[in-house]
Structure 1
C-alpha cells in the first residue's frame, strides 16, 4: 500500500473510532524479510513477562508468548522503524499527542500460546498511548486478536492474523486478548509513547 494512503487511513479510522485495521499495509517483501528476521533469531526469544519495573513477573496463566525486542541491527527492522517514525510524526502533527518515541518487539506464539484480556496502558499510569500490531505470517486458524468495546464484554473486532495486516488502537481505551494459537504465529507488537520521564529516565523502560 502507498505509504501516504496508509497513513491517511490510519489517521481517519483512529480519529473516528479509536482503532484501524488495514490489510496489506506494507510491501510484501518487507513483511517476508521481517518474518525471516524473527524466525532466524528464535533462539533469542524470551518468555514474555507482565507488569513493570520491580513488579515484572512471568505468569503463564495470563500469557505464554515469547518476545524479542528490536535491536535495529537488521535492515528489515530499520525499514519498519522508519515507517513507524514517519507515522509518529504525522500523528503528532494531526492530534497533538506529544508522542516522543516508538518501541516494539517481535512476538512468537507457538501452538497453545495465548494472552488473556488486558490493557496495554492504564489511564494515568503509563506512557503508552497508541498500540500497533503487525502480522508477519498467516496461520490457517487460531491466534485471533479480540478487541472489546470500551467498558464492555462485547466483542468489537475479531482480527485474524494475516501477514501484512496492521492493527492500530488507543492503548488506554481498548481491552483485548489473543486467543490460543493453533499454528505458529509471528507478529510485531509496538507502542507509541508520550514522555513521562523524570531525571532523564524514560518511564516506563522497556
Structure 2
C-alpha cells in the first residue's frame, strides 16, 4: 500500500491478533474528511439516506429504541472521487490483511451513517447468525471539531474489557465483527463511514 507506512500496517495486524481491534488516527487526510462530509450533505439533500434497521433478510426491522441512525450504502458506482479513493484504500487494506492473516477476505460493503442528536445504537455484534460473512468491521469517523461531551463514542468490549473510542475526524477503527460494541448517546450529529470485510464475494447474491 503506497499511502500507508509498512510499520503502521504491521502494528495494525499485531493489534488485531492480540486485542481484536486497532485504532488508526489520520487514516485519511483532512481535505478528504471535508470532501466526504460535503458528499454526505449533498446525498442527504438528495434523499439518499434511509432509516437504518436491525437484522438481515426476513428478520430485518426498524426499531429506534435500539438504533437511531440513517444510512446510505455506497460502492464503486458512487460518483464522488473521494468515495472512490476511500474504497480503493480499504480494498488495498483488505488485500494486505488477507495476505498477512489468511482470513479469506473476498470483498467488503460499506455505508455512510448519520446519527442525529440524541440517538445511539445499543450493544450488538456485526456477525449475524443467519449471515456470518462479516469478518472484520471498520468505522471511519467524519466529525470535524468533535469535543469531549459531544457523545457518539464507540464502546467496544473485547474479552470482557471496555474501551471507549472517541469519534475524531479521520480516525479509523478496525475490529473483529464478533466483538460486542455500541454507539453511545450522541449529543450532536455524528457521521461516519462504516463497513465490513467479508469472506464472500458481494456479487454472489445467493450467499446473502
TM-score normalized with structure 1 length: 0.89
Which residue pairs with 2:39 in the alignment? 37
Which residue pairs with 1:183 in the alignment? 188
Give a deviation string over 1:2-53, Cα, whole Å, max 9, x none.
5134433322211221110111122222121111111221132110011111
Which residue pairs with 2:4 in the alignment? 3
Which residue pairs with 2:198 in the alignment? 193
State the Cα RMSD in Å.
2.1
* In structure 2, C-alpha distance between the alignment counterparts of 1:11 and 1:33, rounded to whole Å: 29
- Is the partner of 1:129 in helix, strand or coil? strand
* In structure 2, C-alpha distance between the alignment counterparts of 1:12 and 1:18, rounded to whole Å: 9
**Of residues 13, 19, 24 in structure 2, which corresponds to 1:22?**
24
* In structure 2, C-alpha distance between the alignment counterparts of 1:200 and 1:80, rounded to whole Å: 23
Which residue pairs with 2:156 in the alignment? 147
Give a deviation string over 1:71-121, Cα, whole Å, max 9, x none.
422111100000011011111101111111011000001101100000001
Number of residue pairs matched by the alignment: 199
* In structure 2, C-alpha distance between the alignment counterparts of 1:167 and 1:124, rounded to whole Å: 25
Q: Give unmatched runs, 5+ long, in structure 2.
A: none
Q: Is the 8 A contact 1:65 1:109 kept in 2?
A: yes
Q: Give unmatched runs, 5+ long, in structure 1.
A: none
- Is the partner of 2:122 in helix, strand or coil? strand
Q: What's the CA shift for 1:55?
A: 1.4
Q: What's the CA shift for 1:123?
A: 6.2
* In structure 1, C-alpha distance between the alignment counterparts of 2:50 and 2:104, rounded to whole Å: 31
* In structure 1, C-alpha distance between the alignment counterparts of 2:204 and 2:165, rounded to whole Å: 38
**Of residues 47, 55, 61 in structure 2, which corresponds to 1:57?**
61
Moved over 2 A (4+): 4-9, 122-125, 199-204
Which residue pairs with 1:13 in the alignment? 15
